[in-house]
Chains A and B, each alone.
Chain A
Amino acid sequence: MKILKCPLNGPRNITEFVWGGEMKPMPDPATATDAEWTEYLFLEENLAGEIAEWWLHAPTNFWFVARRNTITDEIIETMTYDAFLARQQAASTATAPDEAEPAAKSVTGGTDTGVTST
């Protein structure tokens, strides 16, 4: 059984979770054109490699973000949506390479990797 680490509930069997598909920025429903909304609803990058994606812990109805490699099936890390947003903001505002580095390190060697299969 594969174990997925929920940011709220800790490591749980992956059968408790529902896959929510790849992260996509949602256009504002009030102002989006039909074409933009179609793209958001239906079109996928469907990448082979590292992606950020939604997962739901079904028993607690808790949505969060995982980074996973879609070739090796390795779950690299999981985080709350807030943490994901904060990291995105940090990445977009980061100008100096030494600022970006700690974030990159935590991706590979941080404490939040926590997914193994048994």
Chain B
Amino acid sequence: MPFALLKYALSREHPDDPHFRWKPDLKKTYDVIIIGAGGHGLAAAYHLAKDHGITNIAVLEKGWLAGGNTARNTTIVRANYLTPEGVAFYKESVELFRTLSNELDINVMYSERGHFTLAHTDAAMRTARWRAEVNKHMGVNSEVIDAAEVKRICPTMNVTDDARYPILGALYHPPGAIARHDAVAWGYAKEAMKRGVEVHTQTEVKKILIENGRAIGVETNRGVIHAAKVMQAVAGSSSHVARMAGLRLPIKTIPLQACVSEPVKPILDQIVVSGSLHVYISQSARGEMVMGGATDPYGLYSSRSTLDFKESLMGHMLELFPFMGELRILRQWAGMADMTPDFSPVMGLTPVENYYIDAGWGTWGFKATPVCGKRMAECVATGRQPDLLKPFALSRFSTFDLVGEKGAASVGH
């Protein structure tokens, strides 16, 4: 074995293909242009190529591959939502995540940990019960458990009564998982590029070209390119890009801060969330405690850090996990969360013909990467809103048919 490997070290030939097959030049026309090379845009490109045979695609990215919210989320995957529409959608995502490493031939380190949504009030217990019943009806494994059961499953958690907000129980969702977010995007990019999709980074869209109410291409810092269809998947800049297509969105962009501790030995197996305390935490495969709390109290396009965030997060965190007092913060960051009024995404057709939108991903975007890519690809390929995406159409706001998911948000708002 070592000698077999040594052969490759000394040779110019390597058994593996290069990870990404970059093409330097932009063509003049494509079948589909996707704005944004994050997880969602790349997943859509992959599914367009694989499921629909459309490979003449350019994915345009102002920055670098998967450098936006794909790199800034806290990697939690779950399907324990509140509305039947939401549960059906995220359930398909969890199913796709389970086989994603095989599908993309890259280790996304999908790790099912079990997911607690803690309840500290009667109202929160009611919401937990509501979610559990909707989940079970839709075939998603969730159950309401009491504090003693929380303690049994997660012995490191402080469930005593001498906390400011004692734990009454939790919504327990065993399939809740974490994954390696970068690998998810890289896997989609790699497999899409293998099928002929072009990904162009450092390529900023300056203008969206619209003729007679139809999108016909984009103007970039590297010239004009035309396409039969254009899709945007630019979390954090959704309003800005949509404005170029003449659209106003029901979105407020608000920072969501997060942080990780220094890495320690495995001590916390589960993902623990408390919407009431504005706290969520999981331990990464590297041993870091990955933590977040609430979105910032007002809209902003900045990833600056605030002491307010850390103070409010840590105060509650120390009550839940007193051992955290020994840990130091290793680094912190923020992402731009595109918040919609109903805490559900906006996907599919727009009033502009041949222009498709994937936006409004607030604080719930990473977990939807596979299903959103698959269904947006279907939408772009067929020009019709897939059934699974119908409740999430942009038009729901003009028919007052909202999909209220605030009760299932992990992040405080």
Contact = CB atoms under 8 A, between A and B. Distances in A.
B299 A21 contact: yes
A82 interface: no
Contacts of A35: 398
20 contacts: A1-B307, A14-B297, A19-B299, A21-B252, A21-B299, A38-B397, A42-B250, A42-B397, A43-B249, A43-B250, A45-B248, A46-B239, A46-B253, A48-B240, A48-B253, A48-B301, A71-B300, A71-B301, A71-B302, A72-B302
Instruction: Tell me the dominant secondary structure on chain B's binding face.
Output: loop
Interface string B336-372: 0000010000000000000000000000000000000
Interface residues of B, number: 22
Interface in A40-69: 41-48
A45 B297 CA distance: 18
B300 A44 contact: no
A28 interface: no
B308 A46 contact: no
Interface in B224-252: 239-240, 248-252
Interface of A: 1-2, 14-15, 18-19, 21-22, 34-35, 38-39, 41-48, 70-73
Given A45-B239, A70-B300, A71-B302, A38 B248 contact: no
Nearest to A51: B299
A56 to B, nearest CB: 11
B3 interface: no
A39 B253 CA distance: 17
Contacts of B253: 46, 48
B398 A34 contact: yes
A38 B252 contact: no
